[in-house]
Amino acid sequence: MSRLANQIAIVTGAGSGFGAAIARAYIREQAKVVLADIHADAVRKLADELGSNASAIACDVSQGDQIRAVVKHCIDGFGIPDIVVNNAGTTHRNQSMLDVEEHIFDRVFAVNVKSIYHMAHAVVPLMKSRKNGVILNVGSVGSIRPRPGLTWYNSSKGAVSVMSKSMAVELAADGIRVNIIAPVMAATGLLQDFMGVPDTPENRARFLATIPLGRMCDPTDVGAVAVFLASPEARFLTGIEIPVDGGRSV
Dihedrals phi, psi of 41, to nearest 5 degrees: -60, -40
On whether residue 42 sits in a domain, the answer given is yes
On whether residue 224 sits in a domain, the answer given is yes
On whether residue 250 sits in a domain, the answer given is no
For position 60, what pLDDT does the model report?
98
Tens of pLDDT along 187-245? Answer: 777 777 777 777 788 888 888 899 999 999 999 999 999 999 999 999 999 999 999 99
Which alpha helices (DSSP H) does 178-247 contain, by range?
191-195, 201-208, 219-230
Tens of pLDDT along 142-175? Answer: 999 998 999 999 999 999 999 999 999 999 999 9
Dihedrals phi, psi of 4, to nearest 5 degrees: -120, 25
On whether residue 55 sits in a domain, the answer given is yes
Tens of pLDDT along 15-29? Answer: 999 999 999 999 999
On whether residue 230 sits in a domain, the answer given is yes
Tens of pLDDT along 103-153? Answer: 999 999 999 999 999 999 999 999 999 999 999 999 999 999 998 999 999
CA angle 42/135/222 to nearest 5° reads 55
Instruction: Tell me how far apart the alpha carbons of residues 18 and 123 are, in angstroms, rounded to a whole number.
Output: 22
Instruction: Tell me how far apart the alpha carbons of residues 185 and 183 are, in angstroms, rounded to a whole number.
Output: 6
| 153 catalytically annotated | yes
For position 110, what pLDDT does the model report?
98
On whether residue 145 sits in a domain, the answer given is yes
On whether residue 217 sits in a domain, the answer given is yes
- Domain holding 25, by residue range, is 8-243
Is the predicted pLDDT of residue 1 greater than 70, yes or no? no
Of 26, 78, 109, 153, catalytic: 153
For position 206, what pLDDT does the model report?
83
Domain count, the chain: 1
pTM value is 0.95
What residues form DSSP beta bridges with 138? 181
CATH number at residue 196: 3.40.50.720
In 120-147, which positions are buried (b, 16+ CB within 10 angstroms) versus exposed (e)?
A: bebbbebbeeeeebbbbbbbbbbbbbbe
Whether the CB-CB separation of 66 and 114 falls below 8 Å is answered with no
